[in-house]
Structure 1
């Protein structure tokens, strides 16, 4: 059990959906992790400024980004904060399988990410 609070920035063109999904995840993992969703970024060009301002220790890219875009976002974020933990959802996950699949996918992968 850690007392670390994780500051999360999401990169998602649908901020309300990001907030809703992250809200579910935060609730589901709160017995093990404290995650605060500090900001959502809708455009790649806003990633650097948001990461500088919010100083997150985790950043998620949503499934609407192509692998190349997700890589670019992660590159910008890690250049801004070296050692930042990042997580990219597979492209199309939300569209193909829906929000429940996104929540499950993140919950399955979050321990490896946060405990590393």
Structure 2
């Protein structure tokens, strides 16, 4: 089977190294089925719009360190900037509770449903 994609992914995480590590593990875990390119990470809310304008990502993930309100705002900015973008907020505290493995599993469980929505 030929992998689907490529999908351009941007992340919003206050710790860019963690975003790169966790997303890298996620991408590696689904590489037989999907081609995903991690284009860029924004570490601050005010960086979301310019990052989306530069990259025009297909998908954006908001990390688990953001509050519900911040995650909603991140996703709103992304959707206003890039029509049709798919966004997902990792539940607040998931990284702290279950570590990177928990986040990777969360992403793997939801990826297909997220990107295959019309």
- Same-fold call, TM cutoff 0.5: yes
In 1, Cα distance between the equivalents of 2:6 and 2:78?
19
- Gaps (5+ residues) in structure 2? none
Residue 29 (1) aligns with residue 30 (2): yes
- Normalised by the size of structure 2, how large is the TM-score? 0.95
* Shift, 1:3, TM fit: 4.3
| SS of alignment partner, residue 25 of structure 1 | helix
In 2, Cα distance between the equivalents of 1:106 and 1:72?
20
* Shift, 1:5, TM fit: 0.7
Alignment size in residue pairs: 116
In 2, Cα distance between the equivalents of 1:70 and 1:2?
29
Give the aligned partner of residue 14 of structure 1.
15
Runs of 4+ in 1 over 2 A off after TM superposition: 1-4
Give the aligned partner of residue 105 of structure 1.
106
Could you tell which deviates more after superposition, 2-11 or 54-63? 2-11
In 2, Cα distance between the equivalents of 1:28 and 1:101?
13
| SS of alignment partner, residue 10 of structure 1 | strand
Residue 95 (1) aligns with residue 96 (2): yes
Q: 1:8-35: per-residue Cα shift (whole Å, max 9, x none)?
A: 0000001001001111111110111100
- Normalised by the size of structure 1, how large is the TM-score? 0.96
In 1, Cα distance between the equivalents of 2:81 and 2:115?
19
* Shift, 1:38, TM fit: 0.3
